[in-house]
Chains A and B, each alone.
Chain A
Amino acid sequence: SQTIHQWPATLVQPVGSPLSLECTVEGTSNPNLYWYRQAAGRGLQLLFYSVGIGQISSEVPQNLSASRPQDRQFILSSKKLLLSDSGFYLCAWSGPLIGNQPQHFGDGTRLSIL
Chain B
Amino acid sequence: GENVEQHPSTLSVQEGDSAVIKCTYSDSASNYFPWYKQELGKRPQLIIDIRSNVGEKKDQRIAVTLNKTAKHFSLHITETQPEDSAVYFCAASIWANNLFFGTGTRLTVIP
Question: Which residues of A approach B to under 8 Å, CB–CB?
Answer: 32, 34, 41-46, 49, 59, 90, 94, 98-108, 110
Contact = CB atoms under 8 A, between A and B. Distances in A.
B43 A94 contact: no
Q: Which 10 A-B pairs have the closest CB atoms?
A: A100-B32, A99-B95, A105-B43, A43-B103, A43-B101, A44-B101, A94-B97, A105-B44, A107-B43, A32-B97
B18 to A, nearest CB: 24
A32 B97 CA distance: 8
Nearest to B6: A43
A32 to B, nearest CB: 5
Interface of B: 6, 31-32, 34, 36, 41-46, 49, 51, 89, 93, 95-104
Contacts of B32: 99-100
Nearest to A88: B41
A104 B95 contact: no
Contacts of A49: 97-98
A49 B93 CA distance: 14
Contact of A46 (B45, B46, B49, B99): B99
A22 to B, nearest CB: 16
A26 B111 CA distance: 40
Contacts of A45: 101
A59 to B, nearest CB: 7
Which residue among B44, B45, B104 has the maximum number of chain A CB atoms within 10 Å of its CB?
B44
A44 B95 contact: no
B102 to A, nearest CB: 6
A46 B1 CA distance: 12
B97 A99 contact: yes
Contacts of B49: 102
B29 to A, nearest CB: 11
15 contacts: A32-B97, A34-B97, A41-B104, A44-B101, A49-B98, A90-B43, A100-B95, A101-B97, A102-B34, A103-B34, A103-B99, A104-B46, A105-B36, A105-B43, A110-B41
A103 B101 contact: no
Which residue among A34, A59, A99, A110 has the maximum number of chain B CB atoms within 10 Å of its CB?
A99
